[in-house]
Amino acid sequence: MNLTLKVWRQKNGQTEGHFETYPARDIIEDMSFLEMLDVVNEGLISSGKDPIAFDSDCREGICGMCSLVINGIPHGGHAGTATCQLHMRRFKDGETITIEPWRAKAFPIIKDVATNRSAFDRIIQAGGFVSVNTGGTPDGNALPISKEVSDRAMDAAACIGCGACVAACKNASAMLFVAAKVSHLNLLPQGEPEKHRRALAMVTQMDKEGFGSCTVTGSCEAVCPKEIKLTFIAKLNRDFGVAALLGK
């Protein structure tokens, strides 16, 4: 299949960006979207041009590095699918595809469609961990946890921190990401002792990073490749509210 790509090119965060048009020829339908970009980059390099800079790592929908807005939708708009899992059979021969970076103040552009998402790292550093030394690995049955709680914690822990929720939100809010990271620890007994401090610290850091406020439009849930639910934002609001009242 043959396609036309309209790709955002930007030398760095200090220069203005613009769209450039490139052909994508002889693309195999079973290629992933990133493999298609690899092919295009090989052509650009062979012709002496600067390849398109984009983020990728595991290419298995695990690491959260892939971060492209495809035809106006983060990750391309297919449910439960990261960019690296998006296959070219989803597109039609002759189609024009627009490729842009995550657009958010807290995610400054490094080059082209690659952005700096270290703001997420700093939010995790503020409280997304259990600081108590628990010693060796305990027996799996030593600390009983109900299936309902463990399932909810696992659902929250599925977040890969890609930032699609921020890119889709009209306010560039990081609430879904923070809610998932707070909830998967706060739901479990290991995270219980620090739940109030964790909620306050991570929300405070989120605000410092310049993310916008959540107005619960649901766009974050719609584009999340791990389908994290809005109910976790409700839990974060409850945990934060209690922590603020207690002054923890």
What the chain holds in terms of domains, given with CATH numbers, is 3-111 (3.10.20.30), 118-246 (1.10.1060.10)
Q: Which runs of consecutive H residues, i.e. helices, occur in the chain?
A: 33-46, 118-127, 147-157, 164-168, 175-186, 195-208, 219-223, 231-246
| Residues facing residue 99 across a β-bridge | 7, 70
Confidence of residue 134 (pLDDT cuts 50, 70, 90): low
- Is the pTM of the predicted complex or chain greater than 0.85? yes
Which amino acid, residue 123? Answer: I
- At 5-17, the pLDDT tens digits run 999 999 999 999 9
Largest interatomic CA distance in the chain: 63
Please state, in angstroms and rounded to a whole number, the distance separating the CA atoms of residues 170 and 157. 25
What are the backbone dihedrals phi and psi of residue 18, each rounded to the nearest 5 degrees, phi first? Answer: -160, 165
Q: Mapping DSSP to helix (H, G, I), strand (E, B) and coil, where does residue 63 land?
A: coil
Of 54, 42, 201, give the one whose Cα is nearest residue 114: 54
Exposure of 128 in the CB half-sphere (CA atoms within 13 A): 24
- At 186-240, the pLDDT tens digits run 999 989 999 999 999 999 999 999 999 999 999 999 999 999 999 999 999 999 9
- At 141-166, the pLDDT tens digits run 778 899 999 999 999 999 999 999 99
Please state, in angstroms and rounded to a whole number, the distance separating the CA atoms of residues 168 and 158. 19
pLDDT above 90 for 25: yes
